[in-house]
A and B are shown apart, each in its own frame.
Chain A
């Protein structure tokens, strides 16, 4: 039975956008809904569709009562359409339309560009659910399993959010794109997901934590930029999605933090002082810090590729036309038009790395990537504090921006994490020093044995400092169906 909520449940789709008065869009979404459920059952968490999971469901947009925690079977999760409240008189905060009233409809001239942005963002949401669908079976605890499923259902809700925009504002084209979002599959040879990083399987929990820390953080940066949009419904959608996205950042940062904690404690307890004594450390059943560094190198570099080319006319157009702003646009102290400004872009010139001033408008991808790097660095600092506290002598670092890149300025060069340019043969010889090898992968995989007892944690990860929703350590976050 459906409760009366802030969200409108008198239709099949919980929403705060007055769907029951909007018959056309409601019908379109109701037609899309069965396909979505089929997709979830096919491509959602494998083997746990009947489990009762203690999940947070967004039920409104008021901070006091926006979410409720409760046990729910995932296919019965209430995905819905929730937008942050409309700000009366909001104006476009950047670009050539700076200061004009934000649009409530898509301006015809920007329709194609805007649709593409919404589709790309929308495509990443189901993609990550697909990538992570087998992880439940090797969860290191019920707590972690619940966090995984929370991330999954919220990615599902973000897909709903984007599909709403497509159905509501982009007519027949939008409807077609909404269907395509359910047709493409991560890693599928014929119909892959749109962005490269979203076609790799997330095969183990360390990868999942790295993914939520590094790759979901790209998602956060993109949402932050779209939250500035002159197209008000897109801005409001993204603003609300960010509240949920924060949980995904939390899962990644705290997940890796707990792995580090466990490794360092195990090293100390065994009297191992050398963090590079990998064989000895692995024999303890924990993940050595050098391997964590390699995993971070991999996921960081793949995520940097998601920002696209450093210099991009698409990015300039999206900004200039008021569609996609900068990270924290309204907090930046400049003219918000950037017509005559420049921005330093790191380039590979004559065998060395140089900062080259480029027109600021074209360099927006670079700028967003810089903001991303700053954000990542703060997380690394926290991880290093954990290591420091245990007294282990090791520090994780972010590799050079040119390391292991496939897109942009550095796609054609081979660079070490410290920024030394190598020949291809040198790179091929040495890349195992910086990127996880097959052996590393096998070792990590060997640790992936499920821990499903209440309050139980796998040996390679420390329990969390506090539970979800203030629950005690022995809380049964997932009731696995018999």
Chain B
């Protein structure tokens, strides 16, 4: 797939690469670096030509100021003349986005953007990044120039006595700079072609390790992958051996990110491999701000302990860092319990947090969990004279309600 020519004025918004003139110091490094001469300048500003820029991202790393890493969704690209005149970057305009409102800055590649838009549908509107989240890098690597990662390890997380094969796969980037934030995803394209001879579609995987790697200061990411019986990509990944090489694109995602504010409370609700981002969130907070006053609360559902990814390590996370509710639906001699059931049991705790303006909610797992969780939250609110129907959009628009389901 070659870099697509950027549309000028069409029905779909364009992701335009822009330079913040207030922060740029006009050092010229970007213009020197750009391999296709998309960047030019006048006496005042350095600017990117939307008709030439192919999002190769070569200019992002060398910029000394960070002014280079700015993006806007536009129906019609800002012209060079407009950009030359700017004294500051225009705000992102509210757009009537396409049919499903599916275009965002979560990814620059449309294929991935569509996957993420679908995953975030349950948010109930435009997803908004938490106010105190770190700024993510997005789509530094793409299909036509992927990063190559080496498999550092591939461990089965579920017990051998259960059918469910969930794996913890560590990918090392070696000498490649691949900056990620907790909550972001990477995409893997299985090698080979489909029956029509076309390359396979990419699959997205949420990273399960924090930004500084599986262990502090390592240049790797961990994934939590469940083997699906007919899953092309999941079987490819689950069968990888140490030392194998994988082509990776990304990082993707600019809204499902954790707040950096140590006062922020984080409620995390997940099933199965949906636990991946929450493992990253927890580990991030443990490493970066172990004494943070903000609470972390986890509702994690599985059929039984042997099938719950990270069961062992999770049991070792202290309760004062992470209050854990591990919930099982297939325990012998016990009634089925789902995450929403346990949330109702903990209504007091949950509603206290819901009243706090620093509380963020994250839901991750299978699409099927959305309705149950939503109803549970509505019930909990009702019991406390809160109105979920109005609270939910408030949470969403303030970057405190996030859904990523598949």
Contact = CB atoms under 8 A, between A and B. Distances in A.
Nearest to A71: B217
B124 interface: no
A145 B59 CA distance: 26
B130 to A, nearest CB: 11
Contacts of B44: 378, 381
B125 interface: no
Contacts of A381: 44
Interface of B: 22-23, 25-29, 32-33, 43-44, 57-59, 61-66, 69, 87, 132, 134-137, 140, 174-177, 179, 217, 219, 260
Given A68-B219, A378-B44, A470-B134, 9 more contacts: A63-B62, A67-B62, A242-B29, A250-B65, A254-B23, A379-B25, A382-B25, A472-B132, A472-B134
Given A249-B27, A250-B27, A64 B260 contact: no
Interface in A91-122: none
Given A63-B58, A64-B61, A65-B61, A471 B176 contact: no
A474 B260 contact: yes
A238 to B, nearest CB: 12
Chain A interface main SS type: helix
Interface of A: 3-6, 59-60, 63-68, 70-71, 220, 242-243, 246-247, 249-250, 253-254, 378-379, 381-382, 385, 465-472, 474
B66 A470 contact: yes
Given A250-B65, A378-B43, A65 B23 contact: no
A243 B175 contact: no
The B interface, classified by DSSP as helix, strand, loop or mixed, is loop
A379 B57 CA distance: 26
Given A4-B174, A63-B61, A243-B62, A466 B23 contact: yes
Given A6-B175, A64-B58, A466 B66 contact: yes
Contact of A247 (B33, B64, B260): B64
A196 B348 CA distance: 71
19 contacts: A60-B175, A66-B62, A67-B61, A71-B217, A220-B27, A242-B29, A246-B28, A250-B25, A250-B27, A253-B25, A378-B43, A378-B44, A381-B44, A466-B66, A467-B66, A470-B66, A470-B69, A472-B132, A474-B260
Contacts of B62: 63, 66-67, 243, 246
Given A71-B217, A465-B22, A65 B57 contact: no
Please indicate which of the listed interface residues B27, B29, B61 has the most CB atoms of chain A within 10 Å of its own CB.
Answer: B27
Given A63-B61, A246-B25, A470 B137 contact: yes
**Most chain-A CB neighbours within 10 Å: which of B23, B25, B132?**
B25
Contacts of B61: 63-67
A70 B217 contact: yes
Contacts of A63: 33, 58-59, 61-62
A424 B57 CA distance: 57
